[in-house]
Amino acid sequence: MTVNKLKLNMDKTEFLIIGSSHHLKNLPPLQLQVDNTTVEPVDNVRNLGIYFDQTMSMDKQVAELCRRLNYQIHNIARIRRYLDSETCHHIIRSLVTSRMDYGNSLLTGITETHLHKLQRIQNKAARIIYGLRRREHITPYLHTLHWLPVRQRINFKLLVLIYQSIHHEAPVYLYNDICLHSSTVTNTRILRSAMDTTRLHIPKTSKTIGDQAFYVAGPRTWNTLPISIREAPTTNTFKSLLKSYLYPY
């Protein structure tokens, strides 16, 4: 930064230590010294609107996401009587479901409690569209909206990223993180001459947090898909087949 005549903004500088709860408890106090300024560690950091915590549990992200979505739903509910169902649906898609889907592949492996919280918000959004009471059964209306449940929405995004990575439609760093099954692996990268093979290699991990990584969770979920979906010729075709496959209603 000195060579390029840049100055670090210490007011916006922070660092995060990531590890298991056990290892974090045993760490001594840590600080960074930059330009005679002490930088203290923080419990979570925000990057591109996503919160990352020390154990990568995504607790902070889910809490903040629920807070923001509930705020939007509350505001929409206040003006619902002035809207028809179609207009309300468009507003919900714009302000609620789009935010719920943003970066949701990072929520792979979150707890059932977190999934339940997000699913309740999705159900609440559907109730507002149709003007339903809290106790009315929501499943038929989710079916009418053709909304994937939260768990399936997360898997949908993850699997689309895997498909795009295999077909070189995603950033190179994602492509380099996956490899075909061992029979077609060379230097842990996909052989271009073996693109007809659709099964992916699943690396072994010894930690739960490792199972949430893209290069582990993605191939594991991908390999459960029928071959007919994995061999879809285009991204749009893949998305269409995948949504029908994941649709539970």
pLDDT at 104 over 50: yes
Summarize pLDDT for 13-60 with one digit per residue, the tens.
889 999 888 888 888 888 888 878 888 889 999 999 999 999 999 999
Can you read off the two tokens belonging to residue 121? 């918000």
Which amino acid does the sequence have at 210?
G
The answer to whether the CB of 154 falls within 8 A of the CB of 108 is yes
Give the residue extent of every domain in the chain: 10-42, 58-147, 154-246
Per-residue confidence at 120, pLDDT binned at 50, 70, 90? very high
| Listed residue (108, 110, 114) closest to 214, CA to CA | 108
Q: What is the mean pLDDT of residues 95-118?
A: 95
CA distances from 48 to 43, 52, 103 (A): 17, 11, 9
Position 195 scores a pLDDT of 46
CA distances from 54 to 20, 43, 190, 211 (A): 8, 6, 32, 16
Summarize pLDDT for 235-249 with one digit per residue, the tens.
999 999 999 999 987
Number of H helices, E strands in the chain: 12, 8
One DSSP character per residue, 15-80 reads: EE----HHHHHTPPP--EEETTEEE-EESEEEETTEEEETTS--HHHHHHHHHHHHHHHHHHHHHG
What sign has the CA pseudo-torsion 63, 130, 249, 90? negative
d(CA 104, CA 86): 25
- Classify strands 44-47 and 41-42 as parallel, antiparallel or unpaired: unpaired
The answer to whether the CB of 155 falls within 8 A of the CB of 219 is no
d(CA 206, CA 200): 19
Per-residue confidence at 180, pLDDT binned at 50, 70, 90? confident
Please tell me the total number of residues recorded for the chain in this structure: 249
Measured between alpha carbons, how far apart are the two ends of the chain, in Å?
A: 55
